[in-house]
Amino acid sequence: MNIIAAVDQNWGIGNNGRLLVQIPLDQQMFRKDTLGKIVVMGRKTFEGLPGQRPLDGRINIVLSTKPDFSPKGVIVTKSVEETLSLLEGYKDKNFGEQDIFVIGGGQIYRAFLPYCDTAHITQIEYAYSSDVHMVNLEEDPEWMMTEESDELTYFDVIFYFRKYQRIHE
């Protein structure tokens, strides 16, 4: 499984239910990487999507414990275990581990990190005010950066596309 996220210098990912910054090239990369694949997210991340509608061209799985949560066009699961069991079933439908992307938020990243082997991180060289953070993979001995783009900019925002792999011993 993959994680895909945009993080700031402190591995912050959001503030007050919103992304820290929107970078068109990051959004294009996200779309390219996840189109035709399975995306796994939490309810709050889903509710932050434009129009609270599922991402088109993808199978949207939303983890929520709210009993009355049942938006159109998504598969709702109630636990990490239920989600993993559902994802197992997609392997029979020509979806592999590389076709599953965990897209947030913070609790979902932490819950699924043990099941992921690859992380696609847009690293933003700025420290925003954030109230939601992802695990800092730079400080996690189980993860190693394996790819890094050249420095990219969007107006005065400097960022990098980085790929991290879980180290298997």
What would the pLDDT profile of 91-110 be if each residue is shown by its tens digit?
A: 888 899 999 999 999 999 99
The answer to whether residue 167 sits within a structural domain is no
The answer to whether residue 166 sits within a structural domain is no
Average predicted confidence (pLDDT) for the chain = 96
The answer to whether residue 92 sits within a structural domain is yes
For range 10-27, the mean pLDDT: 95
The answer to whether residue 74 sits within a structural domain is yes
For range 69-78, the mean pLDDT: 96
Supply the CATH number for residue 142's domain.
3.40.430.10
Pairing of strands 18-19, 12-15: antiparallel
Helix (H, G, I), strand (E, B) or coil at 95: coil
Digit-coded pLDDT (tens) for 32-56: 999 999 999 999 999 999 999 999 9
The answer to whether residue 163 sits within a structural domain is no
79 conformational bin, left if phi > 0, alpha if psi -120 to 50, beta if neither: beta
Is residue 123 predicted with pLDDT exceeding 80?
A: yes
The answer to whether residue 116 sits within a structural domain is yes
- Parent domain of 62: 2-158
Confidence class for position 169, pLDDT limits 50, 70, 90: low
The answer to whether residue 56 sits within a structural domain is yes
Give the count of domains, the chain. 1
For range 67-76, the mean pLDDT: 95
Is residue 75 predicted with pLDDT exceeding 90?
A: yes
- Per the document, the length of the chain is 169
For range 120-130, the mean pLDDT: 98
The pTM (predicted TM-score) of the whole model is: 0.95
List all residues 6 or more positions away from 33 whose beta carbon is below 8 Å from its beta carbon: 2, 4, 101, 120
